[in-house]
Amino acid sequence: MSVLEVEQLDAYHGLLQAVRGVSLSVSEGETLALVGANGAGKTTLLRAIAGGHRATEGRIVFDGSDVSSLPAHRRVRLGITLVPEGRRLFPEMTVEENLLVAGRIGRKGDWNLRRAYDAFPMLEALRKKRAATLSGGEQQATAIARALMTNPRLLLIDEASLGLAPVVVDRVYASLESVVGGGTTVVLVEQDLGRALRVATRVACMLEGRIVLQGAAAEITREQVVEAYFGLKRRQGGAQP
C-alpha cells in the first residue's frame, strides 16, 4: 500500500525550476533514499511534500488524500514530518523542551519522551541542555527525535549526515535503524551513496530536477547510481538510466 504518491510535480526555487515533472511512490514501511548532486532538487522536493514549499504543478497524495493545497502544520497533523537541513531547533530551549513542543503539535501515537530516549540514548543525558550548546551530531539526533515526537507516518529527513564526523554519523544511523525497524516510513536525502544504499529498501536518483533512476536498492548497483548521479550516460549520448 502506498503512503505517498507524487504525481508530475513541478516546483521552483526562485526563478529556477528545481523540480521537473517528478513522479514517485513510497509504500508503507519503506525507506526511500533520495540521492543526487547539490542542486539536483532533492531539498525542494522534500519541502514540497512537507508543505514548506509551494508546488506549481502536479499532485501530492498522502494516504489516499490529495494534500497538495494543505499548509505544513495540517500535513504534520496528518502524519508528514520533515527533519530539515540545518536541524532548525529552538536554540534557547532544552533538548527535552524541543521534544515536548513537537509532541503537542503532532498526532496521537506511540512516540513519547521515553521511546525517543530509548531510540536516541545519547539524548537522555543531554535532556536539560540548551539546543544551542549541543554538538552537530547531538543536534541532528535531537532534530530526528523531535520529528518522531509528532508520531509521523511519513518521516522526511534532509541530509542526515551533512557536516558530521563519520563516528557521529555512525551513532545517528544506529539510532535511525531502530526507527526504520519499528515500521516508520522514511524518505531520506543522503549524500553518502554507500550509506544510502545500505539503509534503503529503494533508491531514487535526481538529476537537474528529474528522477533519472529508481528501483529496489538490492537490484541497483553502486555503478548505476553513480552514472545517474553525474548524468554520465546523458553526456556520452546514450539513453538516460
Question: What does 15-83 look like in DSSP terms, one character per residue?
Answer: TEEEEEEEEEEEETT-EEEEE--TTSSHHHHHHHHHTSS-EEEEEEEETTEE-TT--HHHHHHHTEEEE
Is the pLDDT at 94 greater than 60? The verdict is yes
* Residue 88: per-residue pLDDT: 85
* Residue 235: per-residue pLDDT: 47
The predicted model scores a pTM of 0.89
Q: Which three cell numbers stand for residue 100?
A: 515536548
* Residue 86: per-residue pLDDT: 74
Average pLDDT over residues 148-160: 93
User: In this structure, what DSSP letter does residue 154 have?
Assistant: E
Average pLDDT over residues 24-53: 95
* Residue 174: per-residue pLDDT: 83
Average pLDDT over residues 7-12: 97
Average pLDDT over residues 89-114: 92
Average pLDDT over residues 79-97: 92
Q: Which three cell numbers stand for residue 67?
A: 494534500
Is the pLDDT at 239 greater than 50? The verdict is no
Average pLDDT over residues 185-212: 91
Q: Can you identify the CATH homologous superfamily of domain 2-235?
A: P-loop containing nucleotide triphosphate hydrolases (3.40.50.300)
**Strands 210-216, 2-13: parallel, antiparallel or unpaired by DSSP?**
unpaired
Percent over 70 (pLDDT), the chain: 96
Q: What are phi and psi of 134, to 5 degrees?
A: -80, 155
pLDDT band for position 234 (cuts 50, 70, 90): low
Q: Which of 23-27, 40-44, 109-113 has the lowest mean pLDDT?
A: 109-113
* Residue 241: per-residue pLDDT: 39
What is the overall mean pLDDT for the chain? Answer: 90
3-state SS, 192-224, equals CHHHHHHHCCEEEEEECCEEEEEEEHHHCCHHH
Of 65-79, 166-180, 181-195, which has the strongest mean pLDDT? 65-79
Average pLDDT over residues 166-181: 81
Give the closest residue to 50 by CA, choosing from 90, 84, 16. Answer: 84
Is the pLDDT at 230 greater than 70? The verdict is yes
d(CA 185, CA 28): 6
